[in-house]
Amino acid sequence: MRLAVIGTGYVGLVSGVCFSDLGNDVVCVDKLENKVDMLLQGISPIYEPGLEELIHKNKEQGRLNFTTNLAEAVQKSEIIIIAVGTPSLPNGQANLSFIEDAAKEIGQSLNNFKIIVTKSTVPVGTNEKIKQIISKYSQFPFEIASVPEFLREGTAVQDTLHPDRIIIGATSDYAKEKLIKLHSPLSENILVTDIRSAEMIKYASNAFLATKISFINEIANICEKVGADITQVASGMGYDKRIGSSFLKAGIGYGGSCFPKDTQALIQIAGQMDYDFKLLKSVVEVNHEQRFNIIRKLEALLGDLSERTIAIWGLSFKPETDDVRDAPAFEIINALLQRGAKVRAYDPIATENFKKCFTREEVQYCLGAQEAAVQADALCILTEWSEFKNISPEMIESWLTEPNLIDGRNIYSQEDLAKTKLNYYSIGRPNLNKGVKEIEPVLLL
């Protein structure tokens, strides 16, 4: 099939590249000339394992192209996929201006019948709005459909090529059949729904996963108080098929481009219908507070943080990505600087992106994990990069001035720490305090 994909962000680029790998003729469109130039040279603007190789392969085989010319791309294609961003407005609502611009331009460009698919995460009813805008600018017939994308950063190619399910929200039998045919090489689990339900499935799925994370983080906080171990608790819960073991990793909360934005947007969508989504509001609040767990633990160990040197490992919101959008590192580092601490930070690949977005200049960015940790009074791990997992706690102990390790992602085991003198505070597990003061679990009798 001939496809045009509008927007070369995570969703658009990865979907476009993967569809070309399945043998379709794909042209990806973006307004940003330098991004399109990079892609034409085979360079991926995002770090995503396996993506650049697929760009090279499919470009060379003539199935994948990149352009800034939306009209031409639309005219040559049978299916147009809208994958532009829907960032948050200050009130949490999704900003639909990129979607509306794309719809207008598509309308102005139509030359015959097309199926227009939205992959961007959009509030319920947006596809109908897209239909109205396109109709305003075009006399040609077209069909709209909603096919939400569930890929995760860091495993985007794998997730796109092997998704758990495909949701196709469409009206006509023709659009349904065509889209089932396009997606059938990807999954056996194809669920065809109405358009509004497809739009809702994406928000509901992300909100549910965010809820799982905030839930396990609250259980972790309670575990700390009663002397239980969240790793064992989560593992015991996960064996129950009704609960499932994924998304039960306690830590310093979720970040990224989707969960924070989509939870806020769903709260807004509900609010506009006079529905107070209390549960989801609490999920967001718990997630926000969880980031400051790191600061509370540091203060328990060091007291006043002013003039203390704190090493930070990990700036991206999760490993295997250079994406720093809504990463917990922003608020944690900001809180440290506000308390007068000196911050030395290292990330395997996200430092440049972080620097661009973090406005305060006091942070010292380091080129290696060791450089950040040497002579620090404490080390905080904010992202579970495998590079960090491969550094032994003994090594960390030898680098630090004071033996304080705060592990915000539970990457080390208690056994790993046994041979060291490190004070080790993780999330939802008993503290290993070798020197300063023991925090006794509260005994509920």
**Binding-site ranges for ligand UDX (CB under 6 A):** 149-153, 206, 209, 213, 247-249, 251, 254-256, 258-259, 317-318
The closest of 311, 268, 314 to 410, measured between CA atoms, is 314
Q: Least distance in Å: CB of 315 to ligand UDX?
A: 12
Q: Least distance in Å: CB of 192 to ligand UDX?
A: 20
The closest of 19, 8, 6 to 166, measured between CA atoms, is 19
Alpha carbons 366 and 349: distance in angstroms, whole number: 11
Q: Least distance in Å: CB of 70 to ligand UDX?
A: 24
The closest of 381, 305, 376, 385 to 338, measured between CA atoms, is 305
> Which residues, 6 or more positions from 313, have their beta carbon under 8 angstroms from its beta carbon?
345, 346, 347, 369, 372, 373, 379, 380, 381, 382, 383, 385, 388
Largest CA distance in the chain: 76
Q: Which segments within 107-251 are labelled E, that is strand?
A: 114-118, 142-146, 166-170, 190-193
Q: Least distance in Å: CB of 169 to ligand UDX?
A: 16
Q: Least distance in Å: CB of 366 to ligand UDX?
A: 22
For ligand UDX, which is the closer residue by CB, 231 or 404? 231
- Residues 423 and 431 sit within 8 Å (Cβ to Cβ): yes
For ligand UDX, which is the closer residue by CB, 7 or 256? 256
- Has 258 been annotated as catalytic? yes
The closest of 190, 164, 181, 10 to 79, measured between CA atoms, is 181
The closest of 102, 70, 110 to 83, measured between CA atoms, is 102
For ligand UDX, which is the closer residue by CB, 74 or 124? 124
For ligand UDX, which is the closer residue by CB, 5 or 213? 213
Alpha carbons 102 and 8: distance in angstroms, whole number: 13
> 18, 223, 258, 366: which one is catalytic?
258
For ligand UDX, which is the closer residue by CB, 1 or 46? 46
For ligand UDX, which is the closer residue by CB, 55 or 382? 382
Q: What is the chain's Cα-based Rg?
A: 24
Q: Least distance in Å: CB of 425 to ligand UDX?
A: 17
- Residues 365 and 351 sit within 8 Å (Cβ to Cβ): yes
Enzyme catalytic residues: 258
